[in-house]
Chain A
Amino acid sequence: MLRDRVLSPYQHGSSAIHRLPAGAKLAAAVACILLIVLLPRAAWGAYAAIGASLVVVALVTRADLYQLLVRLLLLEPFVLGIALLALLRPGGVPLFLSMLTKSTLCLACMILLTATTRFSDLLAVLWRIRVPSLLVTTLALMHRYLFVLLEEMERMQRARRSRTFVAGRSSSWRNSAQVAGQLFVRTSERAERVYLAMCARGWKV
């Protein structure tokens, strides 16, 4: 399912890049992004070099390049939307191109990172660098239950659709809102049970 592919950026593999520790990969990605952001606007040579290196890394990972490209293309519209604002001032074309390039390179960095690093490993890195535990716990629980909730949501939407005989914008809004509202109620009830399960195994806040 497209949504599954969109949702799970990680591509299982055993390349040299995959086997690097998550902390190193995260640091490298952040460093690369910082470099790109701090480069002067017209550093076209540098942009080309970075772009080429990213392509090389992508090849080394032996990842499914088509999937990587799809992810990149899905994210481009947002970049374009903001970059277009630069065209609203006179002489904005070089700025527009520069921002577009920078942004796209940064996106490529992140896409490569997430294709070769599991989110649970990234969480472990955040824990190690002393990100507040409450935030890391929240991230972990969110990631764990995201797919559970999405499945629940899908089931509820299907059930609603099977009883919706008149398709229309307003009924569609009402259905989606009903699903969301019910989902929240169920989610907070589940949160209670998760709390009990955590206590049952000795958890203290």
Chain B
Amino acid sequence: MHVPDGFLDARTLISAAGLAAVGLGLALREVRRHLPARRVPLIGLAAAFIFAAQMLNFPVAAGTSGHLIGAALASVLLGPAAAIVAMTAVLLLQALMFADGGITALGANVLNLAVIAPLVAYAVYSAVGRLAGESLQGTLLATGFAAWCSTMAAALACAAQLAASGVVAWGTVLAAMGGVHMVIGLGEAVITMLIVAVVARARPELIAPAATAAAPPRHRAAVAYGAMLSIGLMILLAPFASSLPDGLEHVAERFGFAESAIAAQPALLPDYTVVPLAEASPWLATVAAGAIGALVAFAVAWFVARALAAPGRTTARH
């Protein structure tokens, strides 16, 4: 999801960089004010850890493997502010040392992966964590769903930037990136849950607490920022959603699905005039698609959390 140089236009680059700077600045201030001194070196070492963890292979199929993004993992292990700083450091290193992600696009990448992703992760983690309780299963469920949501949020933000720069139509990029990351997000959720389960068993005190009602106001502020971002993104989607069906059609045409679909329909519903949902209200269709994806993700997280938290697990051969 790292955007290289040469794709985004100047207006997008500048506004993204501005937002990223604000997010990073707030996080740095929060860390300076409230993180105890003995945890400061941990941010740097955790950044190295995230980078290393991103290199782990999680084989999927036929030679391809998935990799960890790590924003949600950072949030759950470090808290949102430190996670923002750590992820920014990782992105800076990747851009400066490995040309992974552009220099001019650094603002956009930091915004997507180092500000939006950890904040959304922490907001969801806190919300679900409060509802699900402090058990290992509850924590893992919150972690998994948070990881999926943060992946989606980052992907949607990236898609918005590409569309705003005129690289590709909004409907198309939303369908392409949104769709793909719904699946990638599941992988991120499972991997993050697996890792957090190991840490929670070995050293439970290393897991950041979900912001509860009793938490200091600034933690709840982080949750609020995350929630605002999520809602903001959804509002952004609404006016553009009308082009979603066109986008899907475009993708379908490209890959030759469209004709076969039209051929199949009349035979099934000869006299029926059902107005397909997508034509009736594109916005609703987009929201429905997102909601279905979220429900699936939540269910997956629930099942995996239950399996991981089952008591007999540590004694099983691994």
State if A and B touch, Cβ cutoff 8 Å: yes
Q: Given the complex, which residues of A lie within 8 Å of B46, measured CB to CB? A: 184, 187-188, 191
CB distance from B134 to the nearest CB of A (A): 20
Tally chain A residues at the interface, Cβ within 8 Å. 75
A79-B49 contact in complex given A182-B202, A185-B199, C-beta closer than 8 Å = no
B270 on the interface (CB 8 Å rule)? no
Query: What 0/1 pattern do residues 20 to 52 of B give for CB contact below 8 A with A?
Result: 000010001001100001111111111111011
- B-side interface mostly: helix
Interface residues of B in 95-146 (CB under 8 A from A): 95-100, 102-104
Residue pair A114, B97 in contact (C-beta under 8 Å): yes
- C-alpha spacing A19/B260, complex, angstroms: 63
- C-alpha spacing A30/B104, complex, angstroms: 8
B206 on the interface (CB 8 Å rule)? yes
Residue pair B5, A106 in contact (C-beta under 8 Å): yes
Interface residues of B in 38-96 (CB under 8 A from A): 38-49, 51-53, 55-60, 68, 77, 85-86, 88-90, 92-93, 95-96
A150 on the interface (CB 8 Å rule)? yes
Residue pair A138, B86 in contact (C-beta under 8 Å): yes
Instruction: Spot the interface stretch: B190-198, B234-242, B286-294.
Output: B190-198
A103-B194 contact in complex given A122-B96, A149-B49, A184-B199, C-beta closer than 8 Å = no
B250 on the interface (CB 8 Å rule)? yes
- C-alpha spacing A30/B43, complex, angstroms: 27
Of all chain A residues, the one with the shortest Cβ separation from B247 is A88
CB distance from A11 to the nearest CB of B (A): 13
Contacting B254 at CB < 8 Å: which of A88, A122, A178?
A88
A46 on the interface (CB 8 Å rule)? no
Residue pair B45, A169 in contact (C-beta under 8 Å): no
Contacting B85 at CB < 8 Å: which of A135, A149, A179, A187?
A135
Query: What 0/1 pattern do residues 71 to 114 of A give for CB contact below 8 A with B?
Result: 10001001100110110110000010001011101110011001
B244 on the interface (CB 8 Å rule)? no
B2 on the interface (CB 8 Å rule)? yes
What are 27 A-B contacts defined by CB distance under 8 Å?
A37-B6, A37-B13, A75-B100, A79-B4, A88-B254, A89-B169, A99-B167, A106-B103, A106-B104, A107-B4, A114-B99, A141-B45, A142-B47, A145-B44, A173-B194, A176-B191, A177-B194, A180-B198, A181-B198, A182-B198, A183-B53, A184-B49, A184-B199, A188-B203, A191-B41, A191-B42, A195-B37
> Given A85-B173, A172-B58, A184-B206, 7 more contacts at CB 8 Å?
A85-B168, A89-B250, A106-B104, A114-B98, A142-B47, A142-B93, A153-B52
What 10 pairs between A and B have smallest CB-CB spacing? A181-B198, A141-B44, A102-B6, A177-B194, A106-B5, A110-B99, A103-B6, A191-B42, A142-B47, A138-B44
